[in-house]
Amino acid sequence: MSTDQDQARDIASLHLDVALLLAQAEHDVHYDKDESVTVSTTAKILTASRYGNRAEALITVEVAAVRWWTGDVPPTASVGHILNVGDVIKLHSALDIKNIKFIRKNGADATLRCSYGH
């Protein structure tokens, strides 16, 4: 086998190993706290007493679309990343969980189903 073929095989093997490690890490999250958050016309943060020191969050959007930001500027109904009904966002940082803010996008309040874990 040529050196190029060996290198290609090694790279493919490395990519597979990394993918397997990432998949395993995803399965190792233990979600042990939950909350439901109503999102209306004022930017809303998650509840610190619920997420505590957890660094993993799984958030599902129900009822209506929302916008979100994790920076120092809150989202508005017309500015921010959009999450539609049924969308899921996963956060892997305690800082992002602390800083994320949501606001409803349209005329109806939304509900976030949030699970927090380690």
pTM over 0.85: no
**What are the residue boundaries of the structural domains of the chain, listed by start?**
30-117
- How far apart are the C-alpha atoms of 75 and 65, rounded to whole Å? 13
Q: Which residues contact 90 (CB under 8 A, 6 or more apart)?
A: 56, 57, 58, 59
Q: What is the pLDDT of residue 14?
A: 45
Confidence of residue 10 (pLDDT cuts 50, 70, 90): low
pLDDT in tens, 81-107: 999 999 999 999 999 999 999 999 999
pLDDT in tens, 12-62: 454 455 555 555 555 688 999 999 999 999 999 999 999 999 999 999 999
3-state secondary structure 88-117: EEEECCHHHHHHCEEEECCCCCEEEEEEEE
- How far apart are the C-alpha atoms of 20 and 26, rounded to whole Å? 10
- Name the CATH architecture for the domain at 30-117: Sandwich (2.60)
Please state the separation of Cα 80 from the chain's center in Å: 15
Q: What is the pLDDT of residue 28?
A: 80
Q: What is the pLDDT of residue 43?
A: 97
